[in-house]
Structure 1
Amino acid sequence: MISIIIPVLNESETIKDVLHHLIDNASLNSISEIIVVDGGSTDDTKDIVKSLDLNIVLLDSEKGRAKQMNFGAKHAKGDILYFLHADSFPPNRYDKYIIDEVHKGNNAGCFRLQFDSDHWWLRLASWLTQFSWRACRGGDQSQFITRALFDEIGGYDENYIIYEDNILINELYARNEFVVINKKLRTSARMYEEHGIWKVQYHFWTIYVKKWFGASADEMLAYYKRHLC
C-alpha cells in the first residue's frame, strides 16, 4: 500500500487538480491514504482540501518542506511512501509502476520529468531526466521510497530548508537504491516563468556546485533567498 504525502504552502491554484488527478489515475486499492501537510498557508489551500469530500488526511506542520514531509511520513500507514509536490502530476497508473519496481527489489526512485512548457531548454532538461545521472535528479520528479528504507536513512534532513530532496537522493545513490521509471510526470514551470529560465537555471547550478564544494545548509539557503526569493 502506498501513502501519498504532499507538502503544501499556499497551493490553492493547483491542489484541487492534483488531488483529483491522483484519485483518477490510480487503483484506490493500492493507496493507503493521501496526506496533505500544510506548513501555514494563508490562502484557501486548506479550505479547498476540506471542501473536496475526498477523505484526504489534512495535517498542520511547522513550515519547511523537509519537516512537513517527515511529519506526513510519521502519520502514514503505507509501507511505500510517495512524496509529491503540489504542482506535479504523475502518469496514469503511477501506483502500479511504483509497486512493480518495489516488487523488483527497487526500494526507491522517481519518474522522468516533463515541464508544462514548450521552451526548448526545458524540453531538453525534461528529456535528460530519463537517464540515471545524479545531476538530473530533483524533487519535482517526485520520490517513492519504502518505509523501511526511509526509516533506515532517517527521513529528510530538516536542517535543509532548500535542497532537502537532493540530500535524500544523495543518500539513496550512495546505497545504490534508486531507479528512474521511464514514464513522464508533468510538473509546473512556474518558477522559471516567474524569474526567467536562464536566471533560475544558473542559480540552481550554482547551488548544486556550492553543495559539491561543501556549502552548509544555511549558506545555500542564504544564497537562494538572495537570488530567487
Structure 2
Amino acid sequence: MLKFSIIIPCYRDEEKLLCLLGQLHNMPDKAWEIIVVDGAGSESCRRICNLFQARWLTADQPCRGQQLLAGALAAQGDVLWFLHADVRLSLTSLAAMTQAIHNGAIGGFFKFRFDTLQHWPAVILEPAIMLRCCFGVPYGDQGLFILRECYHAVGGHAPWSLFEEVPLVQGARQIGRFIGLRESIFVNPRRWQQDGWWRRTWHNRMLALRFACGVAPQTLAARYQAGKASPEHPHIKHL
C-alpha cells in the first residue's frame, strides 16, 4: 500500500488551509502524513494543523520553493503530493494517483478546473491550460505528485518564489512517465476575478515568456509582487 505525504506551503491563508485540511480529513482514502510549511510562523496556522493532526513546520521566509523543499525533506511517505491551500479536491484523488503509480508512472498532475460557476473566459482558458501542459510544464496549483525517491533524484523544487516546479517537472520527464490525470483539481479563480480574466492571463504569460528568455526568477517575483493589488503569497497562476 502506497504511503502519501501531502505537503502544503502556507502564508497567511489559514482560512483556505482549514478548508483544505477538512477536505483531506473527509476523503475515503487517507494520506499517511500531512506537512504544512508556514512562511509566516502563524500561531493560528499551528492550531489548525494540530486540529487535523498535520505536522506544522516554519520557514525562514515566505518563499514557496524553499517551503516545498523543506516539506519534502521532512516527508517519509512513498509519494509526495504538493498542494496549494486554496484548491478543492476530488474525493477520488488519492485513488487516481495510486492507480497511476501502479500503472508505471513516477508522478503527474491533475486536470485544471476553475472552482466557480463557469464564466465564459474560464470555458476558453481551461482547455488552453491543458493543451499547454502537453507541451510545457504544469504548475504547482495542479496538484503535482511524484515518487519520493524520484523527487530527490532530480533535485526537487528550485528554491524560488516563481516557476519553482519547472526544473522538477523537466527532470521527472527525463527519468520516467510524468502524466496528466483525468481527475480534476479545482483552483480558486479569485486572482482572475480581481484583476480581470484577460489582464491576469496576459500578465502571467509575459512572466512565463521572460522566464523562458532567461530573466531570473527573483527578478520576476519582485515584478509580480509589485503588480499585485493584494499582499498574497508571490506565486504565478496559470495562463
* Residues 1:116 and 1:55: Cα distance change in structure 2 (over 3 Å): same
Distance 1:142 1:15 in 2: 15
Q: 1:186 maps to which residue?
A: 186
Q: 1:4 maps to which residue?
A: 6
Distance 2:220 2:177 in 1: 26
User: Are the equivalent residues in 2 in contact too, given 1:3–1:80 (CA < 8 A)?
Assistant: yes
* Residues 1:200 and 1:218: Cα distance change in structure 2 (over 3 Å): same
Query: What does residue range 178-217 of structure 1 map to in structure 2 within 5 Å?
Result: 178-217=178-217
1:156 matched to 2:157? The reply is yes
**Aligned positions, number:** 224
TM-score w.r.t. length of structure 2: 0.85
RMSD, matched Cα: 2.0
Distance 1:134 1:65 in 2: 24
Other structure's SS at 2:214 match: coil
User: Are the equivalent residues in 2 in contact too, given 1:6–1:84 (CA < 8 A)?
Assistant: yes
Query: What does residue range 109-148 of structure 1 map to in structure 2 within 5 Å?
Result: 109-117=108-116, 118-131=118-131, 132-135=133-136, 137-148=138-149
Q: 1:100 maps to which residue?
A: 99
CA offset at residue 80 of structure 1?
Answer: 0.3
Query: What does residue range 30-179 of structure 1 map to in structure 2 within 5 Å?
Result: 31-41=31-41, 44-50=44-50, 52=51, 54-62=52-60, 63-117=62-116, 118-131=118-131, 132-135=133-136, 137-158=138-159, 160-175=160-175, 177-179=177-179
CA offset at residue 174 of structure 1?
Answer: 4.4
CA offset at residue 194 of structure 1?
Answer: 2.2
Answer with 216-225 or 93-102: which moved more.
216-225
Residues 38-76 of structure 1, C-alpha deviations (whole Å, 9 max, x = no match): 1115583333333x2x22111112221111111111111
Distance 1:43 1:126 in 2: 36
- The runs of 5 or more residues in structure 1 that have no matched partner are none
CA offset at residue 185 of structure 1?
Answer: 0.8
Distance 2:145 2:153 in 1: 15
- The runs of 5 or more residues in structure 2 that have no matched partner are 230-239
TM-score w.r.t. length of structure 1: 0.89
CA offset at residue 226 of structure 1?
Answer: 3.2
Amino acid at match of 2:138: R
- Structure 1 residue ranges, 4+ long, deviating more than 6 angstroms after superposition: none
CA offset at residue 176 of structure 1?
Answer: 5.5
Amino acid at match of 1:9: Y
Identity of aligned residues (%): 25
Distance 2:95 2:224 in 1: 36
